[in-house]
């Protein structure tokens, strides 16, 4: 990862505004990007966490740059630190809110994580998580509900893969990059070799592809890490001089960064395979084999990471799923694993 001098950004009408996030898992302040539009005004690519502090930082950042007329709000993905103020700003300005259809229901509130947990309780029991642990997780996640107001459906517009968005100084293409969430999009500006990468490629933290049941839990289930690796390979192939992340400063060197991340996942998979050689295990049991310490606050991220890696192994034909009595276990199919000795990167929400 190599830092990029951001001074060129104002010349192409791009303004990065870091905004505070009240939870550690985010990996630091969330960036909102104001992008100047043709004919005056600007588009927001992400709009800060919906707390008083998040909104105030965003307003102050816009004010300092003399940006007053909001035309569009484009949401990279359905996490509160990225769309938190969409409803408030849309009400004030009349701007429409653009999002990929696979994350739309996160914005309207239906597929938020706490709702998913309540609705899909049996799935989490299937992963081997004890009932009382699930209750404790639910209790914690409920406290997070005030970080975003649900967005009215009539304010929402759908973003499609390949769609062109015209701005004052360039045209960007929507790049659908499922993984971190099913509907995550990046904005690609080929003429500037620039990618608004949001949480798809982050310099300092691993963009944890999160367990997500919004597309179902059977055949249609979203396999977050399988999807992430495919999306990341797509981005790895792009010629880029600058990536603008969802958290942190502009950087380049995405090819090496992603290569390191792929190796990190391979090592994780080696560690999981090693544990499975001792006998079949649930996802919850594998969590304690992979992480030295588990706690309720980070359990969802840990379950996501382990399930994601197990689904990759399953796709590769290295593990087999066994379902009995409402519990899912995984069995090794006898491929020699690599042992993981690398320290875990902190996950990001
Ligand atoms: Zn984020
Ligand atoms: Zn995110």
Instruction: Please state, in angstroms and as integers, the Cα–Cα distance from residue 158 to each residue in 54, 81, 111, 154, 176, following that order.
Output: 25, 20, 17, 11, 12
pLDDT above 50: residue 349: no
pLDDT in tens, 308-320: 999 999 999 999 9
- C-alpha 82 – ligand 1 centre gap (Å): 6
3-state secondary structure of 331: strand
How many angstroms separate the alpha carbon of residue 80 from the centre of ligand 1?
8
Mean pLDDT score across all residues of the chain: 93
194 φ, ψ to 5°?
Answer: -120, 140
pTM of the full predicted structure? Answer: 0.93
Q: What is the pLDDT of residues 35-63, one digit of tens each?
A: 999 999 999 999 999 999 999 999 999 99
196, 186, 190: which is closest to 243 by C-alpha? Answer: 196
Neighbours of ion ligand 2 (CB under 5 A): 79, 199
Return the pLDDT at 23.
83
* pLDDT for 340: 47
pLDDT-derived band at 77, boundaries 50, 70, 90:
very high
Q: How many residues does the chain have?
A: 349
Cα(297) to centroid(ligand 1), Å: 17
User: How many whole angstroms from 186 Cα to the centroid of ligand 2?
Assistant: 12
* Domains of the chain and CATH, by start: 2-120+149-258 (3.60.15.10)
Q: pLDDT-derived band of residue 335, with 50, 70 and 90 as boundaries?
A: low
CA of 328 to the centre of ligand 1 (A): 30
| Tens digits of residue pLDDT in 5-29 | 999 999 999 999 999 999 877 789 9
Ligand that lies nearest to the alpha carbon of residue 81, given by its number in the listed order: 1
pLDDT for res 145: 60
What would the pLDDT profile of 246-270 be if each residue is shown by its tens digit? 999 999 999 999 999 999 999 999 9
pLDDT tier, 295 (very low <50, low <70, confident <90, very high otherwise): confident
CA of 266 to the centre of ligand 2 (A): 22
pLDDT at 347 over 60: no
Q: Could you tell me the pLDDT band of residue 234, with boundaries at 50, 70 and 90? A: very high
The dihedral of CA 317, 274, 346, 22: what is its sign?
Answer: positive
- pLDDT-derived band at 142 (thresholds 50, 70, 90) equals confident
Average pLDDT over residues 131-138: 94
If you measure from the C-alpha of residue 346 to the centroid of ligand 1, how many angstroms do you get, rounded to a whole number? 13
Distance 249 CA to ligand 2 centre (A): 16
Q: Does residue 339 or residue 237 have the better pLDDT?
A: 237
Compute the distance from residue 246 Cα to the ligand 1 centre, in Å: 5
- φ, ψ for residue 178, nearest 5 deg: -60, 145
């Amino acid at each position: 990862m190599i830092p990029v001098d951001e001074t060129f950004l104002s010349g192409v009408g791009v303004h990065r505004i870091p905004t505070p996030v009240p939870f550690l898992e985010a990996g630091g302040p969330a960036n909102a990007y104001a992008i100047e539009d043709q004919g005056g005004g600007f588009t927001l690519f992400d709009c800060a966490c919906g707390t008083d502090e998040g909104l105030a930082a965003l307003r102050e950042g816009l004010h300092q740059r003399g940006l007053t007329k909001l035309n569009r709000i484009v949401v990279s993905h359905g996490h509160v630190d990225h769309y938190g103020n969409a409803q408030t700003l849309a009400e004030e300005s009349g701007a429409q809110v653009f999002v990929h259809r696979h994350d739309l229901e996160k914005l309207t509130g239906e597929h938020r994580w706490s709702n998913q947990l309540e609705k899909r309780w049996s799935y989490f029991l299937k992963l081997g998580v004890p009932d009382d642990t699930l209750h404790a997780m639910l209790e914690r996640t409920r406290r997070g509900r005030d970080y975003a107001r649900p967005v009215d459906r009539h304010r929402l517009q759908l973003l499609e893969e390949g769609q062109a968005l015209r701005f004052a100084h360039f045209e960007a293409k929507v790049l659908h990059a499922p993984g971190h969430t099913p509907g995550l999009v990046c904005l690609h500006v080929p003429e500037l070799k620039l990618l608004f990468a949001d949480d798809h490629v982050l310099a300092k933290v691993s963009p944890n592809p999160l367990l997500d049941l919004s597309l179902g839990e059977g055949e249609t289930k979203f396999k977050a890490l399988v999807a992430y690796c495919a999306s990341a390979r797509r981005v790895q192939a792009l010629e880029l001089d600058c990536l603008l992340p969802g958290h942190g400063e502009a950087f380049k060197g995405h090819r090496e960064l992603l290569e390191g991340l792929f190796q990190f996942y391979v090592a994780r998979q080696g560690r999981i395979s090693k544990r499975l050689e001792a006998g079949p295990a649930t996802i919850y049991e594998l969590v304690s084999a992979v992480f030295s310490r588990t706690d309720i606050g980070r359990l969802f991220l840990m379950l996501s990471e382990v399930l994601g890696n197990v689904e990759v192994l399953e796709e590769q034909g290295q593990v087999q799923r066994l379902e009995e009595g409402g519990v899912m276990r995984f069995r090794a199919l006898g491929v020699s694993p690599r042992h993981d000795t690398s320290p875990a990167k902190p996950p990001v929400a």
